[in-house]
Amino acid sequence: MNKRNKRVLLLASTVLLGLVATTNVKADNTVEQSSNSVQAATVTSNNSISSSWQQTTENNSQSAVIAAQTVNVPDGYTLDAVRNVKTKAQADELEKIAINGIYNNNYRSNTTAANERIDINNLNNAQTREMNQYAINLINQTRNQFGEAPFTQNDDTINTVKGMALKYQDKNESLMNGGWHDPEILQGNSENIAAQQIYIDNISGLRARPFAEAVGKDFADNNNVPLFTVNTMDDLHALIYYGIMGMLFNDASDLFGHAQNFLTNYQPNNNVAVYPSLTYGTGEGHYSNGQTFTFKLENVDMHYIWAGANAKTDTENGWQYINDQYVYYQDGKPLSGRQYISLPTINGVGNSWYLVDNGVVQSKVQKWMGTYYYFDPVSYLRVDNNYVQSQWGLWYLFGDNGQILTGVQKWAGSYYYFDPTTYLRVDNAYVQSQWGDWYLFGNDGRILSGIQKWAGSYYYFDPVTYLRVDNNYVQSQWGDWYMVGNDGRVVSGFYNWMGTLYYFDPVTYLKKVNCYFWVNGIRYWADEYGRVVRA
């Protein structure tokens, strides 16, 4: 009996232990599920909330819940640490710290919420409001620990987000069935999605635990999360709680993009609300005797969307961090057009020159004023006199004025040649410089001198001028002497140089000296200087 089958057997004999599905929790970056088939979408009524109110801080009805739901932020999990994640390696390094936030944060059940029965498929207006108050208070409580201003919420936000979530549902789009952020629905608004699967079947002897009984460690492995049920407001709070914890502390696969949305990204709209979209799925398990059984699941995608009438009234000027990029605002609007302009530095010290496109600061290789420049991806400043890798992986050389270079160029103590059309370094080629002379460049792109093989023959290039040497007797880099002819090639056989006849071995290319040798049946003598006469 294997371990997995034994676990199912234990579940079959117990009423409250959780079923395990192959994949049943997702943020908006994880792999598609392998064991669940999507069926018809659940229908939820779209009743709007009509009363006028705005949630900005913890209200009295939720203060006790929030006090009990303090988010424990791991040591080393800072705004800079979250903000600076740009690569998978950086994300993996941060997650070594952040994952403690999964293990050290457990939902605390609330008696009032536990006594409130709900149908997640048909949340009424009061339940929708309570769900949103809980979610925004939890997010803002976390932001407050970092000294960040709270997000806000109003009727328009909740109704707008609810409408968007139900559009996902109408289109049968879920992270669990391969869905993604839908630009047609979002219309430019920011969004985080946390998806869970809940057990909705009634298999005899098998019943999943209520979500409110979950603990943090249940969510440490996104591919091995127990299935729970949602029947009370307490369960719904727990589903929201662990969804937010996952987006904050278990988000390396999305480069902590969800955490950045909650904590560090500038949101042009300060209002955020949440609402679920629902679809059906099917899970599969095995009894200890090998028999397969299936069970019904519901995919719950919780959509956190910044939308609705904006509570922000202040004009935001200067640099703002929006959707993983810096945007410069002037008079409350992004700068228009493409400009290379002196602006206050992004780090707030002095002024620097930046290339911006409709306010968005540009980095890496960029075209400007008929040529190309490179801007550092961290500082966004122009890079001069450096050989750098572009955003598409190829390498280019930029000069003292920042412009991309072509032709023969000096770099790091040697000379290289860069194609005037592609701007790429040319390797293993004999090419003409911008001033008309020809040079040979090797396999590593560096200019060559001394004896070199090229196109099936040997040539000699002056170690000072790097030019090909013709019709001369030259010493190689290894000390031997060779004769190069009028076309620059190393010669063999008889060769008349400066009025004297010499003979160069056709195999070694070296001059014959102090020896007899035969050519075409005729014997010759080469003296100590290599001068040849018939013997």
User: 187: buried, middle or exposed (CB in 10 Å: 19+, 13-18, 0-12)?
Assistant: exposed
Determine, yes or no, domain membership for 530: no
**Given a cut of 60, is residue 159 above it in pLDDT?**
yes
Span 184-213, pLDDT tens digits: 888 888 999 998 888 888 877 677 899 999
Q: In Å, what is the CA distance from 159 to each residue of 64, 120, 172, 174, 182?
A: 26, 17, 20, 20, 18
Q: Quote the CA–CA distance of 95 and 88 in Å, as a whole number.
A: 10
User: b or e along 254-270 (b: 16 or more beta carbons within 10 Å of the residue's beta carbon)?
Assistant: bbbbbbbbbbbbbbbbb
**Given a cut of 80, is residue 26 above it in pLDDT?**
no
Determine, yes or no, domain membership for 290: yes
Find the range with the poorest average confidence among 66-75, 267-276, 280-289, 507-516: 66-75
Q: Quote the CA–CA distance of 418 and 426 in Å, as a whole number.
A: 6
Radius of gyration of the chain (CA): 36
> Which has the higher per-residue pLDDT, 314 or 213?
213
**Does an H or E element contain 98, and which?**
helix 88-98
pLDDT of residue 310: 57
pLDDT of residue 309: 66
CB < 8 Å & 24+ apart, contacts of 354-360: 354/328, 354/380, 354/381, 355/380, 355/382, 356/328, 358/334, 359/327, 359/328, 359/329, 359/333, 359/334, 359/335, 360/325, 360/326, 360/327, 360/334
> Which has the higher per-residue pLDDT, 4 or 237?
237
Longest dimension (CA), the chain: 121
**Given a cut of 70, is residue 27 above it in pLDDT?**
no
Contact 224, 20 (CB under 8 A): yes
Residue type, 200: I
pTM across the whole model: 0.53
Contact 461, 453 (CB under 8 A): no
pLDDT of residue 399: 98
Determine, yes or no, domain membership for 335: no
Angle between helix axes 125-145 and 155-170 (nearest 10 degrees) is 110
Query: What phi-psi label fits residue 25: left (phi over 0), alpha (psi between -120 and 50 degrees) or beta?
Result: beta
Residue type, 18: G
pLDDT of residue 531: 95
Determine, yes or no, domain membership for 387: no
Determine, yes or no, domain membership for 319: no
Determine, yes or no, domain membership for 503: no
The predicted model gives 100-125 an average pLDDT of 93
Find the range with the poorest average confidence among 158-172, 222-236, 503-517: 222-236
pLDDT of residue 285: 78
> Which has the higher per-residue pLDDT, 5 or 402?
402
| 473 beta partners | 483
Determine, yes or no, domain membership for 431: no
Determine, yes or no, domain membership for 183: yes
**Given a cut of 80, is residue 43 above it in pLDDT?**
no
Span 46-101, pLDDT tens digits: 333 333 333 433 343 344 344 447 899 999 999 999 999 999 999 999 999 999 99
Number of domains in the chain: 1
Q: Quote the CA–CA distance of 199 and 197 in Å, as a whole number.
A: 7
How many Cβ atoms from other residues are within 10 Å of residue 98's Cβ? 23
pLDDT of residue 13: 19
pLDDT of residue 516: 95
The predicted model gives 286-293 an average pLDDT of 78
**Given a cut of 50, is residue 499 above it in pLDDT?**
yes
41 band by pLDDT with thresholds 50, 70 and 90 = very low
Q: Quote the CA–CA distance of 249 and 261 in Å, as a whole number.
A: 13
**Given a cut of 50, is residue 16 above it in pLDDT?**
no
**Given a cut of 70, is residue 401 above it in pLDDT?**
yes
Q: Which residue segment(s) compose the domain that 300 sits in?
A: 3-306
pLDDT of residue 34: 30
